[in-house]
Structure 1
Amino acid sequence: MRTAIVGAVLLVLGGIAVATGLLPVPEAVELWDRVWPILLFVVAITVVTELAAEAGVFTVLAQQTARWGRGRAWVLWLLVVVVAALSTIFLSLDTTAVLLTPVVIVMARHAGLNPLPFALTTVWMANAGSLLLPVSNLTNLLAQHAMGDPTPAAFAALMLAPALVAMIVPMVVVFVIARKSLLVRYETGEEDGIEDRVLFWISGAVVVALVPLLVSGLPVWLPTSIATVVLGVVFLVRRRSVLRFGLVPWQLVLLASGLFLFIEALHAAGLATLMATVSGTGESPLALLRLSLTGLVGANAIDNLPAYLALEPVADSPARLAALLIGVNAGPLITPWASLATLLWHQRLTSFDVEIRWSRYMLLGLIVAPVTVVLATLALSATV
């Protein structure tokens, strides 16, 4: 409920900005045109994952992964690291946050392990691991265009060193802080039977079909909306009691709507100009660090996408664009609103009754985000 309250307050503040003329109505309408596909995707993908979880899809995936771990928690964790990295690189950070988080939670519980290290691995890899390919993050696609549309291979060549650093540093931190939970053995436990095999196989097929469609070039809201309708009809026929209003993440939608409107009002008030002023110029190691750290601060203050858009005009070379991406991709590990992936991840945790205090999350992020961004930027400066 606190999420909904914060979202409502931000919507009111944004509404005041529109009513007073601080945020012109045409700009608010343009914002809505950009935002509604994102919000529709959030609703659709959340409903799909909820229904797939009800059908037992994630339970079966988790059980299989637990068997591959062969009773060693650290091996199981490394499997999660690899899968999260591949999912983020090839399918995008939002897909990792939404689809992988339920799997790792169910997997950890099935093995009798603490799910928090696995969940933290997922969200940190989803953000920090999204540097390598254009499809990994929407900011990358924008930067690719600003670079003159290099091929994915050329883009990856530029980003390879910082991407590796950005993936490794947070995972080292996770292992260090969770080593007592990971250096243990586990029993896989008994297999959970599938209650309805028709539901299971149809839900599994929908999820499998959905994954490539998310990177097919189609607007992501379209295949996820179709998947929602398909699963909704199947559940209506076979397990109607599952279909309820609570499947819709209305609190998250309210918060995201409020954030988008409030951030746009801040832009109109001159925040973008201020950020551009402090980001500096040049391609020396210190200049690139200044830009990436400005991106880090901006992402955690106002969300990574508007932070990127605010700073793109001063990132006037491939090296500076790469530094900016390091800041806005690997840096959003501190505040809950720093990226949509983090909000989606937390909504998945809540739906599975896994609690993590935002104060603890932010404290850990304050430690790992600056170190990751600085080291990744130094790796960039050593290779350009």
Structure 2
Amino acid sequence: MTTSTASLLREAVPVVALLALLAVAYAHPRRRVEAGVSVGAAALALSVGLLGTEEAWTAVRDLLAVAGFLAAILVVSQVCERAGLFAVAAAALTRGGAGPVRLFTGAFVLAAAVTAVLSLDATVVLLTPLVLAAARATRASPEPGTYACLRMANSASLLLPVSNLTNLLAMSSLSLTFAGFALTMAPVLAAVLVVEYAGLRLLFRRQLRPVAHAGAVPSSSPHSPAGPAQTDDARPAVPAAAVALMLAGFAVTSPLGVEPVWVAGVTAAALVGWAARHRLLGARGALEAAHLEFVLFVLALGVVVAAIATGFLGELVGELLPGSTDLRGLLVIALLATALANLVTNLSATLLLVPLVAPLGDAAVLAALLGLNIGSGLTLTGSLANLLWRRTLLRDGERPDLAGFHRVSLTLTPVSLLVAVGVLAVLT
């Protein structure tokens, strides 16, 4: 075996490990299986010697704060769901005999807000079923509202550092504070929201025609939006206030160098204590909500991608990067990020790409995030959120059409991405 062949085989091993991780993420097996594959994939990537023990520990250490934040925010989202916060918000969509357009608009705004504040996972897993139930309540087509959730899960995650793990991973490479990030990305998001809303209205114009009669969701429906809204229970107000305080905490502590994980952790602990007193969520339920196996997956992914970055793929990506951050340069970065996201999912692509573009400055990193967030909506495998959205609908008796998915994604994603890059170029 020649030296070049042996080197190629060594570099192929971490790629195999990455494929194993992605297969687990797509299949979503039992928690023990997911944890076992994560540990095995990291060990496999280390076995070929492309990455030393110290380098592997550095990769894990750099991700600990992000992984901890993920666990905390998942717990916060679960308490919000158990307290009925999402159901109350969804119930508002059907009040007063809301027509299809009003229902869609409300779902669009609500999905954007949930994504920005509680992350995209909350939108696709917790909010989407309630939007689906609201559509059934008014006998409207479920497609406009559920696709609004999907599109916002990716595109609306631009606003805050905590809206998407990709943003959190990139924050260490940016000179921006929490508030600075939000102020920079707000005009970009505003332009993207206009494109997405107008595009969805156009694509689903037939489904948004008024329906003749509106019914009611049966009381036995597990996702009935009418449930919590019909009671005098003030419980949803508590997690809503906690989330508002958490956001304020992010903004206040960011200039002081405090990681978001600490603020989210305190919020999660406080809400779990409150939920336990009201018998909404116990310690075991909180531990399950944290999805520690997915946290382990994120850490393993960091090790595997760090090994890949030392090989040919890292070199190839480095060669494709532009030397400037003018409009053309930002567009190249965003397109490269989009291609990588849809090849290996946006989380893996972030770990690979962001360290390479960081030397080019904040504008380059933000352009990469445009591709990693908006661009990941191009294909079903571009982000885990897309796959979770599909799985959520299948669980609730809806089968999203693959051709229909790509009709929407291939129409809207390129336009949204180009508009976002153009606004970013003007701002920076």
Which TM class, normalised by the smaller chain length? 0.7 to 0.9
Change beyond 3 A, Cα 1:296–1:193 = closer
Hey, what does 2:323 align to over in structure 1?
281
How far has the Cα of 1:3 moved from its partner?
Answer: 2.0
CA contact (8 A) 1:58 1:102 kept: no
Alignment correspondent of 1:60:
88
Q: Aligned partners of 1:43 and 1:359: how far apart in 2?
A: 34
Partner of 1:181: 207
Q: What is the CA distance between 1:79 and its match in structure 2?
A: 1.8
**1:171 paired to 2:215:** no
State the partner residue of 1:327.
371
Seen in structure 2, the aligned counterparts of structure 1 residues 260 and 183 have a Cα distance that, compared at 3 Å, is farther
Deviation at 1:292, TM superposition (A): 1.3
In structure 1, distance between residues paired with 2:94 and 2:194: 23
Tell me which amino acid in the other structure corresponds to 2:108. V
1:71 aligns with 2:98: yes
- The residue identity in structure 2 corresponding to 1:21 is G
Aligned to 1:306: 351
Report the 3-state secondary structure (helix = DSSP H, G, I; strand = E; otherwise coil) of the residue aligned with 1:289: helix
Q: Matches of 1:264 and 1:310 in 2, distance apart?
A: 10
How far 1:370 sits from its partner (Å)?
2.8
Asked if 2 retains the 8 angstrom alpha-carbon contact of 1:128 and 1:330, the reply is yes
Whether the 8 Å contact between 1:301 and 1:335 is mirrored in structure 2 is no
* C-alpha deviation, 1:333, in angstroms: 0.9
CA contact (8 A) 2:161 2:181 kept: no
1:292 counterpart = 2:324 = no
1:375 aligns with 2:419: yes
Deviation larger for 132-141 or 111-120 = 132-141
Structure 1: 5+ residue runs without aligned partners? Answer: none
Out of 91, 108, 113, which is 1:81 matched to? Answer: 108
5+ residue gaps, structure 2, are 1-23, 220-225, 251-259
Q: Which residue identity is paired with 1:287?
A: G
TM-score, length-scaled by structure 2? 0.69
- Equivalent position of 2:43 in the other structure: 15
Distance 1:50 1:201 in 2: 17
Structure 1 pair 336/257, CA: closer, same or farther in 2 (3 Å)?
Answer: farther
Which of 299, 307, 310 is 1:265 aligned to?
A: 307
Identical positions, percent: 26
Please report how far the alpha carbon of residue 166 of structure 1 lies from its aligned counterpart in structure 2 after TM superposition. 2.3
Secondary structure of 1:130 counterpart: helix
CA separation of 1:232 and 1:159: change in aligned 2, threshold 3 A: closer
What secondary structure sits across from 2:95 in the alignment?
A: helix
CA RMSD of aligned residues (A): 4.3
Residues 19-58 of structure 1 aligned to structure 2 (within 5 Å): 19-35=47-63, 38-39=66-67, 42=70, 45-46=73-74, 49=77, 53=81, 56-58=84-86
Deviation at 1:274, TM superposition (A): 2.4
Aligned length: 376
Residue pair 2:93, 2:103 contacting (<8 A) in 1 also: yes
Return the offset for 1:67.
1.0
In 1, Cα distance between equivalents of 2:239 and 2:372: 29
Matched, 1:210 2:237: no
Q: In the alignment, what sits opposite 2:151?
A: 124
More displaced 10-residue stretch of structure 1: 367-376 or 338-347: 338-347
Residue in structure 2 matched with residue 4 of structure 1 by the alignment: 29
CA deviation map 1:265-296 (0-9, x unaligned) = 32243533322220212244322211111121
**Take 1:375 and 1:145, find their aligned partners in 2: how far apart are those partners?**
26
Contact 1:281–1:314 under 8 Å retained in 2: no
